[in-house]
């Protein structure tokens, strides 16, 4: 087994060849520790190591940036220039002076800044520590992304399948710039994209990574949240968790809606290899009633890293049910493989029978299978092209796309 890691900031490459995953991870962590804590020091070297505010969601039209200034140099830091700006605006400068010993850090509040509605990027960096040139440039700069919402939140229904090329999707935000944060993945079983949290290579135990939805407005009966997730546990004590939280006060306080980890989160058998959900059976659907929440809300999916295995998220839907008993526990249909050549497997997760129709782009029915149950269906007689598969089950209709090669 091999592992290679490239730090785009220090331009350092770490590589290990090893026969065993646990051992390579521990050795790799030791190298990373040396890289970040044992990197050769320069006399004069400062940097913004963290941005505490602004992050994630803000419901005010102004922010007071709060940052952490760190002395990375071997000499005491007595002065440094701090530059900061929003988006592509010109940078403002704050000239700090004081006493900061080697390796120490200090919390600083900068001047209040006005911000417009929508997504933003805040950037802060240092220059001229002790009036000298920076020792290293890779540790100077920190950035944060956040969304300002003073306008009316998006009404329901709301749906996201991560099929766009931009991640996070428009209006969404992340709470961290870590390379191990949620990202777009291309191993979805039914389409091309899904959200993924790489826990397999992430050794930052107990650190949480938030994928935050845009603010939504709930004003009807029987609202619910539905989503799909996939996870396989790495054997042993490496337990990752998935949490779902909701806030009605723009992120000041949060209620826990869902919290599972380790074996209780697993949707597939444990594996020592990186987990990839390559079929419908690897996914589970979770539905959560939101009856207690009305008005503007923010929902976020949180991955808590345990250094285990990969976690996936897809097909998020927030809508109103016709009745409280109509909130779905699973989406009513699955098709795989897709694209297909010979046969498709249909897995609804229900013992009930359903009517199935497959029709082409003109609306002409090509296959009709009434009162079908989960199983396989031969599509080898269909010419190559795009088709629509219609399921009718329990007075509900779902239509999925099917590509035949």
Distance between CA 339 and CA 153 in Å, rounded? Answer: 37
pLDDT tens per residue across span 100-118? 999 999 999 999 999 987 7
- For 18-151, list the strands marked E by DSSP: 46-53, 56-58, 62-63, 66-71, 77-86, 92-100, 105-109, 113-114, 118-127, 142-148
Percent of the chain topping pLDDT 70:
89
pLDDT tens per residue across span 58-77? 878 899 999 999 999 999 99
pLDDT tens per residue across span 26-62? 666 677 777 766 677 889 999 999 999 898 778 788 9
- Mean pLDDT for the chain overall: 85
Q: What is the pLDDT of residue 332?
A: 40
Distance between CA 190 and CA 283 in Å, rounded? Answer: 11
- For 274-383, list the strands marked E by DSSP: 284-289, 295-304, 311-320, 335-336, 343-346, 354-359, 365-372, 375-378
Strands 142-148 and 56-58: parallel
Q: Are 397 and 391 in contact (CB under 8 A)?
A: yes
Distance of CA 349 to the CA centre of its chain: 26
pLDDT tens per residue across span 169-220? 988 888 777 788 999 987 654 456 889 999 998 878 888 999 999 889 999 8
Q: How far is CA 397 from CA 144, 318, 333, 356, 381, in A?
A: 42, 17, 10, 10, 25
Q: Which two tokens stand for residue 298?
A: 């923010």
pLDDT tens per residue across span 275-296? 988 777 788 888 888 989 999 9
One-character DSSP codes across 143-208:
EEEEEE--SPPEESPEEE---SSSSSPTT-EES---TTS-EEES--SSSS-EEEE--SS---TT-E
Distance between CA 285 and CA 272 in Å, rounded? Answer: 24
Distance between CA 277 and CA 255 in Å, rounded? Answer: 29
Nearest to 233 by CA among 194, 258, 260: 260
Give Rg (Cα) of the chain. Answer: 25
Burial (CB count <10 Å: 0-12, 13-18, 19+), residue 67:
buried
First to last CA, the chain: 35
Distance between CA 241 and CA 232 in Å, rounded? Answer: 11
Residues 305, 188, 329: CA angle, nearest 5 degrees: 80
Distance of CA 335 to the CA centre of its chain: 25
Mean local confidence (pLDDT), 335-356: 80
CA atoms within 13 A on the CB side of 132: 14
Distance between CA 262 and CA 231 in Å, rounded? Answer: 9
């Amino acid at each position: 087994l091999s592992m290679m890691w490239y730090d785009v900031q220090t331009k350092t490459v770490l590589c290990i060849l090893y026969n065993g995953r646990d051992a390579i991870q521990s050795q790799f962590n030791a190298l990373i520790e040396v890289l970040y804590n044992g990197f050769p020091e320069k006399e004069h070297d400062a940097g913004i190591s963290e941005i505490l505010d602004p992050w994630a969601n803000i419901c005010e039209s102004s922010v007071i940036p709060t940052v952490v200034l760190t002395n990375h140099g071997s000499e005491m830091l007595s002065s440094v220039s701090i530059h900061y700006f929003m988006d592509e605006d010109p940078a403002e400068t704050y000239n700090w002076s004081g006493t900061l010993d080697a390796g120490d850090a200090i919390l600083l509040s900068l001047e209040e800044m006005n911000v417009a509605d929508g997504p933003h990027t805040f950037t802060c960096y240092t220059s001229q520590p002790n009036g000298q040139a920076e020792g290293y440039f890779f540790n100077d700069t920190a950035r944060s992304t956040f969304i300002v919402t003073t306008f009316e939140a998006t009404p329901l229904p709301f749906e996201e399948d991560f099929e766009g090329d931009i991640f996070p999707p428009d209006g969404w935000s992340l709470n961290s710039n870590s390379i191990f944060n949620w990202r777009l993945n291309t191993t979805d079983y039914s389409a091309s994209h899904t959200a993924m949290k790489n826990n397999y290579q992430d050794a930052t135990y107990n650190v949480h990574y938030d994928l935050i939805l845009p603010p939504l407005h709930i004003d009807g009966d029987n609202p619910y949240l539905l989503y799909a997730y996939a996870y396989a546990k790495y054997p042993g004590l490496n337990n990752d968790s998935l949490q779902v939280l909701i806030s009605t006060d723009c992120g000041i306080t949060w209620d826990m809606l869902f919290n599972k980890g380790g074996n209780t989160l697993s949707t597939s058998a444990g594996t020592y290899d990186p987990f990839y959900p390559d079929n419908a059976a690897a996914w589970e659907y979770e539905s959560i009633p939101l009856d207690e929440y009305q008005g503007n809300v923010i929902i976020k999916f949180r991955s808590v890293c345990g250094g285990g295995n990969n976690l996936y998220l897809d097909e998020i839907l927030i809508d109103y049910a016709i009745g409280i008993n109509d909130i779905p526990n699973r989406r009513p249909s699955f098709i795989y493989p897709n694209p297909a050549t010979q046969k498709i497997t249909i897995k609804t997760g229900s013992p009930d029978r359903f009517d199935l129709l497959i029709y082409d782009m003109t609306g002409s029915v090509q296959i009709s299978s009434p009162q079908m149950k989960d199983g396989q269906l031969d599509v080898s007689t269909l010419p190559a092209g795009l088709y629509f598969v219609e399921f009718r089950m329990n007075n509900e209709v779902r239509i999925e796309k099917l590509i035949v090669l």
